[in-house]
Amino acid sequence: MSTLAEHLTAQVCGGTNSTLLGICDFAMHSATPYKTAILTLGVKKIRKSVFLKLQELRYQTYIFPIVQNLLTKYTEAMADVMNYVLSTINSTTYIAPSHTANRTILYYQLFEEIKTLM
């Protein structure tokens, strides 16, 4: 994503219209007068396009590493979450997680969510 974002930002800010054709009928165009990037997937009648303004693209570029980092942390915590859910599923009072459990997860909030589902 960041490579795509860097390319689009350079094209939109650089004052040139460009087209980048890629794999699987993917095309990327920049519309300089409107500071817009156009991402297109598909051919002829089944073509779908997404228009991104430069500000939106910059926001995505900035937030992507944060989202990627959170996803990594949540993936690492998956085993701890499953253990916690299995140990608290029949409980009526809050049970604190083990001292070795991943601290990224808000276990008290998870406990409340489990109780609303049960």
The mean pLDDT values, 10 residues at a time, for the chain of 118 residues are 54 50 68 80 83 84 89 93 92 91 92 88
* Domains of the chain by residue range: 1-66, 77-118
Q: Which residues of 13-34 are buried (b: 16+ CB within 10 A; e: fewer)?
A: eeeeeeeeeeeeeebbbbeeee
- 74 Cβ neighbours under 8 A, 6+ residues apart: 104, 105
pLDDT at position 1, please?
47
DSSP 104: T
pLDDT at position 79, please?
94
pLDDT, mean over the chain: 80
Q: Locate 88 and state its tokens.
A: 């608290």
pLDDT at position 112, please?
93
pLDDT at position 92, please?
87
pLDDT at position 8, please?
53
CA angle 10, 14, 15 (to 5 degrees): 140
Give the CA-trace dihedral at 86, 89, 93, 94, to 10 degrees. 40
